[in-house]
């Protein structure tokens, strides 16, 4: 899981060399953009599932021990889960937590960070967030949703210049104050794919 952070397209392309990746995508209205993005993702072996197709295709992927790539930082008017994000209450989709709870698959946040002004990137990730099968469903969905949101916030706090999001993320939920979180520690690994090795992928 990542947000619109660093080069998320490169992150998905890089990971296809290690894991079977299924990227969740909305159906872009502009056909030129749609064809361009889908062609890029599929060229590196990433499979695409459209968000409007429901949870069943995603559940099937997880049951095959494949990975799902999610960008859940978008503001959703109809989202039913509210969590703390940068000291404010925001709406988030329940689907990441629900998929984890139903299958036992852990949630892992991370991203592809640009290294300085160079055309090189580094993959970073946090600790796996594992579901508790003994906890009540509603309680666990809220806990998992808050956990991945907090992990994403900590990543953004470490590299705020790499979060690319121009919409009002706090529009559909009331503001509430909370203590500022401690600095996060993320684990880093060398990206298995770089722009030098794959010149067709341009820096975002």
Q: Which of 151, 166, 13, 171 is nearest to 143 (CA)?
A: 151
Q: What is the per-residue pLDDT across 148-166, written as a single tens digit (0 to 9) for each?
A: 999 999 999 999 999 987 7
CB 4 within 8 A of CB 111: no
Position 79 confidence tier, pLDDT thresholds 50, 70, 90: low
What's residue 25's pLDDT?
A: 86
| 84 in Cβ contact with 178 (< 8 Å) | yes
Band of residue 80 on the pLDDT scale cut at 50, 70, 90: confident
pLDDT exceeds cutoff 90 at 146 = yes
Higher pLDDT, 184 or 51: 51
How many Cβ atoms from other residues are within 10 Å of residue 167's Cβ? Answer: 10
* pLDDT tens-digit series, residues 99-137: 999 999 999 999 999 998 898 999 999 999 999 999 999
More confident residue, 131 or 36: 131
State percent of the chain over pLDDT 90.
46
CA atoms lying within 13 Å on the CB side of residue 15: 27
pLDDT higher than threshold 60 for residue 97: yes
pLDDT of 184 above 90: no
Measured CA angle at 20 (ends 52, 150), to 5 deg: 65
What is d(CA 180, CA 29) in angstroms, rounded to the nearest whole number?
Answer: 38
pLDDT of residue 165: 78
Dist. CA 184–CA 54, nearest whole Å: 33
Where does residue 176 fall: left (phi above 0), alpha (psi -120 to 50 degrees), or beta otherwise? beta
Q: How far apart are CA 144 and CA 148, in angstroms?
A: 6
CA distance 70 to 24: 6
Per-residue pLDDT band at 172 (split at 50, 70, 90)? low
Q: What is the CA radius of gyration of the chain?
A: 17
CA 100 to chain centre: 14
Average pLDDT, the chain: 82
Query: CA angle at residue 97 from 18 to 181, to 5 degrees?
Result: 90
Query: Most confidently modeled of 14-18, 113-117, 136-140?
Result: 136-140
| Sequence ranges of the domains in the chain | 8-190
Q: How high is the pLDDT of residue 194?
A: 31
Contact 116, 109 (CB under 8 A): no
Compute CA distances 169 → 84, 85, 92, whole Å.
12, 9, 10
């Amino acid at each position: 899981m990542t947000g619109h952070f660093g080069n998320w397209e490169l992150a998905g392309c890089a990971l296809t060399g290690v894991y079977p990746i299924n990227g969740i995508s909305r159906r872009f209205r502009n056909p030129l953009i749609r064809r361009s993005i889908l062609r890029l993702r599929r060229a590196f072996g990433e499979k695409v599932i459209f968000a409007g197709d429901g949870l069943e295709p995603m559940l099937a992927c997880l049951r095959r021990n494949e990975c799902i790539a999610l960008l859940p930082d978008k503001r959703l008017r109809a989202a039913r889960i509210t969590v703390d994000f940068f000291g404010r209450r925001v709406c988030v989709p329940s689907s990441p937590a629900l998929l984890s709870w139903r299958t036992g698959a852990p949630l892992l946040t991370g991203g592809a960070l640009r290294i300085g002004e160079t055309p090189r990137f580094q993959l970073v990730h946090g600790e796996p967030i594992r579901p508790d099968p003994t906890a009540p469903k509603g309680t666990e969905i809220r806990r998992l949703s808050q956990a991945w949101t907090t992990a994403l916030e900590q990543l953004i706090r470490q590299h705020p210049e790499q979060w690319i999001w121009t919409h009002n993320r706090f529009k559909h939920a009331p503001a509430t104050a909370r203590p500022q979180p401690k600095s996060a520690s993320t684990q880093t690994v060398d990206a298995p794919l770089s722009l030098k090795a794959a010149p067709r992928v341009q820096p975002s």
